[in-house]
Structure 1
Amino acid sequence: MFHYTTESNQAIEDTIKRLENTLKDEGFGVLWQFDIQEKLQDKGVDFEVPYRVLEVCNPHEAKRVLTKDKLAGYFLPCKIVVYDDNGKTKIGMPKPTVLIEMLDDESVKNLAKDIEKRLINCIDNV
């Protein structure tokens, strides 16, 4: 499966706040938060589902990955989504290990495994 997704028993806003705190513990920060529902509605498109995309980055890890293979930048920063799914808050991400497979570079694959494990831990601790 290309993604990791789980449920949070909290509202979207609370889930995002807790996620930001768990990410900090692992040296990651939220660079940008995109509210898809708001943006689509601003453009006149009726979209009633709360859906946020967070771009997260650990600058030291980004440097390590890009030093090994600059093409890895196509997958950076990492994305985590938080959204409503029929009244339940879902939180998930595309797996870095799956994305990085496209590069066929073993040294980068090992870094992706570590990053993926840490991000899943952050999500699970929300």
Structure 2
Amino acid sequence: MAFTYTYTVKTVMPVAEAVETVKKSLQQNGFGTLWQLNVPEKLQEKGVNYQREAVILEVCNPEHARNALEANLQVIYFLPCKVVVFDDGEETSIGMVLPTVMMENLQDTALTAFAREVEETLQKALDEAIR
């Protein structure tokens, strides 16, 4: 059995539309977008040609972030959460690394329920974005 560390949904929406749709869904689920990186544009600025559409969103729920940081400052290495949207051939993928998997690295059982709650909320937002 393969180890799963990401959650991904697929859509036929173009990347730009999927980005806007997922940002709205994230906001409706309590997560704001702090920053948006257009991967091909950023690489082009650095003199590297990359053609596939790909966007990285850094997202955050401030209350969740504070609670996690107060529970274990090592969480700072995993903040903010990232949601990615990219051209995946005939479809657009929208995905994230699972917070439960990231928190396992800290070996702090106090963070397990917190990570599960964040993960479920983000999965719900991604699912709603493609409906």
TM-score of the two chains, using structure 1 as the length reference: 0.96
SS at match of 1:82: strand
SS at match of 2:47: coil
Check the 8 A contact 2:12/2:90 in 1, yes or no.
no
RMSD over aligned Cα, in angstroms? Answer: 0.8
Counterpart among 5, 25, 29 of residue 26 in structure 1: 29
Check the 8 A contact 2:100/2:115 in 1, yes or no.
yes
Counterpart among 59, 62, 65 of residue 62 in structure 1: 65
Check the 8 A contact 2:26/2:125 in 1, yes or no.
yes
Paired residues, number = 126
Compared with structure 1, are the counterparts of its residues 87 and 43 closer, same or farther at alpha carbon in structure 2 (3 Å cutoff)? farther
Partner in structure 2 of residue 108 of structure 1: 111
Unaligned runs of 5+ in 2: none
1:9 Cα deviation from its structure 2 partner:
2.2
Partner in structure 2 of residue 4 of structure 1: 7
Which digits, 9 at most, give the CA deviation of each residue in 1:10-55, with x for residues without a partner? 1111111111111111211000001111111122211110111000
Counterpart among 78, 89, 93 of residue 90 in structure 1: 93
Partner in structure 1 of residue 43 of structure 2: 40
SS at match of 1:103: coil
Partner in structure 1 of residue 82 of structure 2: 79
TM-score of the two chains, using structure 2 as the length reference: 0.93
Partner in structure 1 of residue 102 of structure 2: 99
CA distance, structure 1, for counterparts of residue 11 and residue 126 of structure 2: 9
Counterpart among 112, 120, 124 of residue 123 in structure 2: 120
SS at match of 1:104: coil
Identity of aligned residues (%): 38
